[in-house]
Amino acid sequence: MRLRRRSPLLSVVVPVYDVEAYLPAALDSVLAQTHENLQVVVVDDGSTDGSGAVADAYAARDPRVLVVHTENRGLGAARNEGVRHATGDLLAFADSDDVVPPGAYPVLVRELTRTGADFATGSVARLDGDTVSELPWMRRLHKDRLTLPIEQHPELLGDVFAWNKLFRRPFWDGAELAWPEGIRYEDQPTTTAAYVRARRVAIVPEVVYHWRIRHDGSSITQQRSSLDDLRDRWTTKRMSLATVEAFGSKKVSKVFHDRVLAGDMHRYFAEIPGCSDAWWDLLVAGVREFWGSRSLVHSGLPPVHRLTGWLVESGRRDDATRVMEYVATLGGPVPQVRTPRGPRIDVPGLDPATVDPAALALRDFEVRV
C-alpha cells in the first residue's frame, strides 16, 4: 500500500492590534483553508480592545492556533515575533483586518512544490464591504503563471505586499529576512530584499488575498498628510533603493527607479493642497533626493502626476497646488491639446511656456484620438 505523503506545515503569522471587529473574519478565513497541515501564530501586539481575548478564544477551541501576547511594538516587530514562534516549513503573513480567500494557500503551496521557487506570489483584490475587486495593476503584474529570477521581470518589485506571498522557511532564514521595526511601510524593504535574494520567484494569476478597505481613517495608508508618514515613506524607499542598487543590475535599477519607486507618489501629490509648510518642504526634499538626477518626467506616473512631480522638483508649490486642485474637480482625464511640438496636457492657469515641455508631453499610448 502506498503511503500518502504528509503535506508541509504552513505557518501563518497574524499580527493583531485593536481589530476586535475584524479579527474573527480574518482568522476564520485562514483556518478554513484546505491545506490541512496548518499553524496560525497570532501575535497580540498590546491591543487595548478585546482582540487578545478573541484570539485566545480561537486558540482554546482550535489546536492549530497559537497566541503570543506582547507589549505594543508595532507591525514589523509583531511579525518578527510571530516568525520566532512559527515552526512551519512554509511561512505566510496575513493582516488581522483582511481576508484570505478560499483555496489561496493551496494554490501557492502547489506552485512552490511544482516549481521549486524560493517563494510564490499571487494577485490581490480590494474588499470594500461585500464588494471584491482585483487591483488592475496587480492583475497586470500577475497576468501569467511564471517562475523566474527578478531580472527577467523587474516590474514585479512593485508587488510590495507581505501578505500575498508564501515563503520557504529555509529561504527566509538563509536570506536573513526580517521586517523593519518602528516604522510604517515595512513591507517594501523586506519584499524587495526577498526578490533580489531569491533564485526564482513563482507568480500565480489567482487572487490569493482580499485587502479590506477601512473607511474609519484608522488605516496607516489613510494618514499620508502627516509628517511621520512621509518620513517613514522616504526611509523605506531609501532602504529599498539601496537593496536594489547593491544587487547590481542596471536593468532592475532603472525599472525600480522609474516605475516602482515612483509608483505611489500620486497619492502624496494629492495631499499638496492644504499641506503644512513642513510637509511641503519634506516632500520637495525627498523628490529631489530620489529623482533629482533623473526627473519624474521619465517615470511611469500618469501625465498629470509627472507634471506635478516636475513642479515639486522645481519648488513650485502654488502651481503644484493648482494642478492637484484642478484634478480633484475633474470627472475624468486632464484635457489634451495638440501643438506644433506634439500633444500635451493642458491645465488652466498654468503657463506652458514656464514648464519643461517634457513635463507636459504625452506618450504615444496616452494620446486620446
- Grouping H, G, I as helix, E, B as strand and the rest as coil, residue 342 is strand
What pTM, to 2 d.p., does this model score?
A: 0.92
Spell out the per-residue pLDDT of the chain, length 369, in tens: 444 567 899 999 999 999 999 999 999 999 999 998 999 999 999 999 999 999 999 999 999 999 999 999 999 999 999 999 999 999 999 999 999 999 999 999 999 999 999 999 999 999 998 899 999 999 999 999 999 999 999 999 999 999 999 999 999 999 999 999 999 999 999 999 999 999 999 999 999 999 998 876 555 544 777 999 999 999 999 999 999 999 999 999 999 999 999 999 999 999 999 999 999 999 999 999 999 999 999 999 999 999 999 999 999 999 999 999 999 999 888 999 999 889 999 999 999 999 999 999 999 999 986
Instruction: Concatenate the DSSP letters of all residues of 237-261 into one string.
Output: HHHHHHHHHHHT-HHHHHHIIIIIT
Cell representation of residue 121: 506570489
Is 156:242 a contact under the CB 8 Å cutoff?
A: no
Task: Give the chain's end-to-end CA distance (angstroms, integer).
Answer: 68
Alpha carbon of residue 87 to chain centroid:
26
Domain ranges of the chain: 10-220, 262-366
At the fourth CATH level, the homologous superfamily of domain 10-220 is: Spore Coat Polysaccharide Biosynthesis Protein SpsA; Chain A (3.90.550.10)
Secondary structure of residue 92 in the 3-state scheme: strand
Which helix (H) or strand (E) segment is 327 a member of?
helix 317-329
Sign, Cα dihedral of 95, 185, 123, 175? negative
